Structure 1
Amino acid sequence: MLNAPLSASSTELVINVLTMVLNEGKPLDRAYSHHFSGLKLAPAEQARITAVAGDILRRLNLYCFLADIKSSEIERLGTQLLNAWHMFHGLELPKMQYALKVEQTDFDQRLMEAKQQGALFDGCPEWLDELGQTQIGDKWPAERAALATPPKRYLRTNLLKGTREELIKTLAKEGVQTKVVETVDTAVEVMSDSALFRTEAFKNGLFEQQDAGSQLVATAVDAKPGMRVVDACAGAGGKTLSIAAQMQGKGRLLAMDVEQWKLDSLKQRARRAAAHNIETRIIASSKTIKRLKLTADRVLLDVPCSGLGVLKRNPDAKWRDTPERLPVLVQLQKDILRSYSRMVKVDGILIYATCSIMPQENREQVDLFLANNPHFVFLDDENISVAESGFDGFYLARMQRTAEG
């Protein structure tokens, strides 16, 4: 975290970002883009602002409790919240004009109370704490605490353009310090506070920013050169690009999604990465899937999910989501599994994945699918724990088609 207080102008920016997210319902990344646009902020100062705003959102109920305000009052009482945040982290208070104070005695008393309430101290809303306890049981407190920590920055080496060791050396020449992630063959962790997207290494397509856990999901596809592979919920294509590298640019890789703008973004990234075997296709109707019946060696279904494994990276989601949304997502996952699995050919492999850590979205979905589809057999699965790995949380399962059906 910071080793010095925010400036008055940066404090104001943090308050504006939080207000846009919490009062207007804007995603955090769009709030950053809106408020940083047109400003000539040094990369280090921008990083400080995003670090503070992100940390406050990861433990919003805690900091509001310590400041004795409601989250809906941040636009008006934001200076009080920022003072409480600085006090919690043992920093001098920022020099803000007309700032609202937090009395030290009241702060100390509230902090003592918060430490006795695990969910509050970890910045977890009640609905999520109840869900986690029900779904994960004794393992939930460790996951909950891990989701309250800042995310690390990981890069995926683009093996189409060089090795991991070459990437580390190239980045070092540009002042970016990284280290190998031993458990993920393509991953490096960024150790310095660097503007990654301004580097020549990025412009030349040598890497993509991608969580190490996400890289493990792509690795599980185990695509080989010459295969026909479908990434059926491709989004902007982080995993698609990783699969393209596995295939060494040989074979056919079809990236599909229901939103064209995401596929357009993928096309740009693919050009930069020299991933020339990627073809994009919009899913316009169920006919798009039917035309590909029994054609693919591998089908990756990285399905829409609650995102409860990636909350430290997307902390605004837990204040925007509600428990009522989860059953809708679970039904959508069932529908996608049932429909999109038709694309897997006999002896081909279906990979089901989520960025959730909840069994309801993960193994329970797989077991239900297998019970209703005897022409598929279970191969293996993996729970990528936030607490155990230090990565974002993911789930993946691999199933093989044994017959037409």
Structure 2
Amino acid sequence: MLTYPLSGSSSELVLNILTMVLNQGKPLDRAYSHNFSGLKLEPTEQARITVVAGDILRRLNLYCFIVDINADEFDRMGSKLLNGWHLFHGLELPKMQYSLQVDEKALAANIESAKQQPALWDGCPQWLDDLGQQQLKDKWPAERAALMQAPKRFIRVNELKCDRQKLIEKLAKEGVTAVSVETVPSAVEVTSDSALFRTECFKQGLFEQQDAGSQLVAAAVDAKPGMRVVDACAGAGGKTLHIAAQMQGKGRLLAMDVEQWKLDNLKTRAKRAGAHNVETRIIASSKTIKRLKLSADRVLLDVPCSGLGVLKRNPDSKWRDTAERLPILVDLQKQIIDSYSRMVKVGGILVYATCSIMPEENRLQVDRFLAEHPHFSFIDDETILSSEHGFDGFYLARMIRNEE
């Protein structure tokens, strides 16, 4: 957290970023990109801005409560909330040109009141707290508290070009401090506020930014050189590139998605990474899947989900999403696993994954699939909880096709 207040200009950037998210409905990453574009900010100052904006969004209801405003008033009352944030963390007030003052006695009373409300203190909206209690039961309080913490900064070494120790040494020469993650062989934690994407290591494709929990999902695919592998919900391809490294560039790796722009981004990343066995294909219709029936040694289905395991990294989503959206996602997941599983050949392995921690999207979805598809058998599964690992939250399950 900060040890001294934001400058006036940085305060204005925080307010602009949060106004785009809260009043204009923009995703946080796009708000960052829009506001940082063209600015020559020092990496440490940019990091301070993202720390404040991220923390405010992770506990938005708490900070609104202690200064007595509503989130939908942020475009008018944002300076009051930012002042309250500074006081909450024991900092002097930032020197903004125009700002609304905070009654410090009322603030102190509201903080004491908030301490008696665990969900509010953890920045959890009521709909999410109800869902978490229902689905995770006694594990929910620890997970709720973990999800309001700032995310750690993880990268994955690209083993097509480098090994982990050499990457750490090369980063150190560029002023980036990093350490190995003992429990994830491909993962490195960056512990400095360095501008990673300006480094020669990044330009040379020696690493990709990827959470350590996400790296466990790709590792579960256990792809071997020479295999035919399908990443059927590839997105921008973080897990695709991890699988390409497992395959040592040998064999066929088909990355598929319903959105072409994501696959275009993947092509750029694959070129930088030296992942020459990656082929992209748009899913234009069900025929795309039918043509690949019983053809793949491995199929990864990293399906669309609620994202409730990655709220540390995407805190804005919990102020947009509601429980009403969950049944729609569960139905979409069902459609995808029922249809896309046809690509797995006999003896091949299907890996189902989400960045959610809710059983309804995870083990219950897998159990339903296995009950309706007896030609598949369960191998194992894992729920990666942030409270236990410090990573983002994920789920993965492995199943084998025994017959057509």
Q: What TM-score does the superposition give when structure 1 sets the normalisation length?
A: 0.99
1:231-264 superposed Cα distances (whole Å, 9 cap, x missing partner): 0000000000000000000000000000000000
What amino acid maps onto 1:254 in structure 2?
A: L
Corresponding residue of 2:109: 109
CA distance in 2, matches of 1:297, 1:152: 34
Shift, 1:112, TM fit: 0.4
1:350-382 superposed Cα distances (whole Å, 9 cap, x missing partner): 000000000000000000000000000000000
CA distance in 2, matches of 1:140, 1:156: 29
Over the matched positions of the two proteins, sequence identity in percent amounts to 76
Corresponding residue of 1:335: 335
Corresponding residue of 1:6: 6
1:275-311 superposed Cα distances (whole Å, 9 cap, x missing partner): 0000000000000000000000000000000000000
CA distance in 2, matches of 1:70, 1:382: 39
CA distance in 2, matches of 1:97, 1:77: 14
* 3-state SS of paired residue (1:324): helix
Corresponding residue of 2:77: 77
CA distance in 1, matches of 2:340, 2:193: 41
Corresponding residue of 1:65: 65
Corresponding residue of 1:39: 39
Corresponding residue of 1:228: 228
**Counterparts of 1:347-386 in structure 2 under 5 Å?**
347-386=347-386
CA distance in 2, matches of 1:47, 1:119: 27
Does residue 280 (structure 1) correspond to residue 312 (structure 2)? The answer is no
1:319-371 superposed Cα distances (whole Å, 9 cap, x missing partner): 01111110000000000000000000000000000000000000000000000
**Counterparts of 1:66-145 in structure 2 under 5 Å?**
66-145=66-145
Structure 1: gaps spanning 5 or more residues: none
* 3-state SS of paired residue (1:380): strand
* 3-state SS of paired residue (2:323): coil
Corresponding residue of 2:346: 346
**Counterparts of 1:129-168 in structure 2 under 5 Å?**
129-168=129-168
**Counterparts of 1:258-269 in structure 2 under 5 Å?**
258-269=258-269
Shift, 1:33, TM fit: 1.2
Corresponding residue of 2:302: 302
Shift, 1:15, TM fit: 0.8
Shift, 1:74, TM fit: 1.2
Alignment: residue pair count: 404
What amino acid maps onto 1:302 in structure 2?
A: D
CA distance in 2, matches of 1:50, 1:86: 15
CA distance in 1, matches of 2:201, 2:342: 40
What amino acid maps onto 2:95 in structure 1?
A: K
Which has the higher mean CA deviation after the structures are superposed, 102-111 or 190-199?
102-111
Which has the higher mean CA deviation after the structures are superposed, 363-372 or 318-327?
318-327
CA distance in 1, matches of 2:291, 2:360: 31
Corresponding residue of 1:50: 50
CA distance in 2, matches of 1:60, 1:392: 20
Shift, 1:38, TM fit: 2.1
* 3-state SS of paired residue (1:62): helix
What amino acid maps onto 1:43 in structure 2?
A: P
Does residue 189 (structure 1) correspond to residue 212 (structure 2)? The answer is no
Does residue 244 (structure 1) correspond to residue 239 (structure 2)? The answer is no
CA distance in 2, matches of 1:399, 1:119: 36
Does residue 257 (structure 1) correspond to residue 261 (structure 2)? The answer is no
* 3-state SS of paired residue (1:194): coil
CA distance in 1, matches of 2:96, 2:227: 60
Corresponding residue of 1:209: 209
CA distance in 2, matches of 1:279, 1:178: 32
Shift, 1:98, TM fit: 3.1
CA distance in 2, matches of 1:162, 1:49: 32
CA distance in 2, matches of 1:220, 1:116: 41
CA distance in 1, matches of 2:76, 2:373: 56
CA distance in 2, matches of 1:146, 1:49: 21
CA distance in 1, matches of 2:24, 2:224: 46
CA distance in 2, matches of 1:281, 1:117: 49
Corresponding residue of 2:178: 178
Q: What TM-score does the superposition give when structure 2 sets the normalisation length?
A: 0.99
Q: Which runs of 4+ in 1 moved over 6 A?
A: none
Which has the higher mean CA deviation after the structures are superposed, 37-46 or 278-287?
37-46
What amino acid maps onto 1:143 in structure 2?
A: E
CA distance in 2, matches of 1:283, 1:98: 51
What amino acid maps onto 1:194 in structure 2?
A: S
Shift, 1:68, TM fit: 1.0
CA distance in 2, matches of 1:34, 1:171: 28
1:8-58 superposed Cα distances (whole Å, 9 cap, x missing partner): 111111111111111111101111111112222222111111110011000
What amino acid maps onto 2:100 in structure 1?
A: L
* 3-state SS of paired residue (2:350): strand
Shift, 1:88, TM fit: 1.1
CA distance in 1, matches of 2:56, 2:164: 34
CA distance in 2, matches of 1:296, 1:39: 46
* 3-state SS of paired residue (1:24): coil
